[in-house]
Amino acid sequence: MGIYQKPGFGRSLNQAWRGLLHTWKTQKHMKLHIVTGICVLCLAWGWQVSSVEWMTLIFAIGCVIGAEVINTAIEIVVDLVEPKFHPLAGLAKDVAAGIVLVSAIQAIAIGIIVFLPRLFHLVSKFL
């Protein structure tokens, strides 16, 4: 066996949670994504969305949160490799932030598709 031994499942899971906790503690947008995701799930529960809509909403929320975690990891690596400002380091961070933006736009579009008809129906009751 080589010098490096892969950690067991429990240790790997602990490291993954540590990474998520770091992202939660250091990234204000992660808090926004989590709170927004919880609000969306509460709306979905209240409006009794279909199973397919549940899966789609959960997938969209997971994509946004996952993108934020990837963005954080890329920012950490860029800062490690290039602690001083460098235009390419800045560009790498901008592109990583773009991942989050694209997934957030996708999630908003999904939310509009799922919730807008219900919102129109609710408003039409009061008109």
Residue 103 tokens, joined: 């997934």
What does the mean pLDDT of the chain come to?
94
**CATH node for 32-126:** 1.10.287.3610
> Could you report the per-residue pLDDT of 25-53, keeping only the tens digit for each?
999 999 999 999 999 999 999 999 999 99
Indicate the domain borders of the chain: 32-126
- pLDDT bin (cut points 50, 70, 90) of residue 1 is very low
DSSP assignment of 45-103, as one string?
HHTT--HHHHHHHHHHHHHHHHHHHHHHHHHHHHHHH--S--HHHHHHHHHHHHHHHHH
> Could you report the per-residue pLDDT of 115-125, keeping only the tens digit for each?
999 999 999 98
pLDDT at residue 56, rounded to an integer:
98
Q: Which residues are catalytic?
A: 68
Helix (H) or strand (E) holding 23: helix 9-26
Residue reference for tokens 């957030």: 104
Q: What percent of the chain has pLDDT over 70?
A: 96
pLDDT of residue 9 exceeding 60: yes
